[in-house]
């Protein structure tokens, strides 16, 4: 139960601090709180036998861990699949070719 309470506090702290613009959503603190919160909640979900919640928190932790590592090594972006930037760039390229 202790892991669950600590994890809950960390994840809610990350969300609350971000929601009230006290920390950046791309910052090290935000990703750290989410990562360690997800680990605590994953341990709790495993102990409780709640497999759906375990999957959710494991994936949450993986995403937070990837972003934290990328942030710490100075690479803010992961490989693009498709993003708004990709769509905008494609639109700009079409306009340039038409001109």
For 33-68, write each residue's pLDDT tens digit. 999 999 999 999 999 999 999 999 999 999 999 999
Any idea what DSSP says for residue 82?
Answer: S
Q: Model-level pTM?
A: 0.73
Alpha helices in the chain (DSSP H): 2-19, 28-48, 51-72, 84-98
Question: Domain residues of the chain, as ranges?
Answer: 2-98
Q: State the Cα–Cα distance between residues 68 and 70, nearest whole angstrom.
A: 5
66 close to 39: Cβ distance less than 8 angstroms = no
**57-98 pLDDT, tens digit each:** 999 999 999 999 988 887 655 555 544 555 556 556 666 666
Q: State the Cα–Cα distance between residues 44 and 29, nearest whole angstrom.
A: 22
């Amino acid at each position: 139960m202790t892991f669950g309470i600590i994890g809950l506090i960390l994840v809610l702290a990350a969300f609350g601090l971000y929601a009230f613009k006290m920390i950046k959503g791309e910052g090290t603190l935000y990703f750290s709180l989410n990562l360690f919160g997800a680990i605590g909640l994953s341990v709790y979900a495993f102990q409780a036998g709640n497999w759906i919640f375990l999957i959710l928190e494991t994936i949450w932790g993986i995403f937070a861990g990837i972003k934290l590592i990328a942030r710490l090594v100075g690479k803010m972006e992961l490989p693009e699949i498709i993003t708004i930037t990709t769509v905008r760039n494609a639109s700009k390229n079409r306009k340039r070719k038409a001109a």
